[in-house]
Structure 1
């Protein structure tokens, strides 16, 4: 079995540490109230980001060793197959300041981005937007920031 392990000083380690710092630094900017005062969808997003931070900490601490089976992370390139039969689409999940819909870079705070965070290939996710909801299955997920030779 070919398992990728994170090496100290790798692009993956640097990116995960950057994400943890960004999430911690921007929490008050993104969420102007405590979880108890947040709307249900905001509270759900806060909880997702807390689980996400825990996942990053586990990877960095070496608790998660097999990097071949990571869930969708910020930086992942994700291909979706929609239940309505539309064509497959590929997006990269990014931090909010890196979002660019024209380049298929979706913010982790958007309805789609937050629905995909921590999901895995084969999962069907419900994406709720102000215009309604839809379902899509994740058919591919690749951590695009971990492509350097140190991480193979």
Structure 2
């Protein structure tokens, strides 16, 4: 839905994962072989990937000041199971958390969240306030108070609903 640029760094993975489902249309890209290949998720791991996605969405809604759309597994508990290690760049000595295995989605998401926490960008990744959308977006507004994934679609819908309610 969003007409915004993708989130920076590893948050692009989190944003893309949350946006694999279109709540309004009821379509899930993880149902397709291409969607599963994009995130390197085997069919046997789909339930876990969906649980992770919805836990992320709940946290992104919280970042935007909204309650979760439904009960989900706590994200912290899921990420605690992700095997990570400290990777040190031999050239400049910089260090970062990295997935112990490049394949599992959970480890890649945990590394992305750790990167965003370090960079101070984690709280800028939000979910659209409209219940039929809840699309993930990176809030680049100066005050960090963005509410919709797209001002031209969801923002316009919300404003029109408020106007009609008056």
Higher strand share: 1
TM more than 0.5: no
Bigger radius of gyration, 1 or 2?
A: 2
Shorter-chain TM-score tier: 0.3 to 0.5
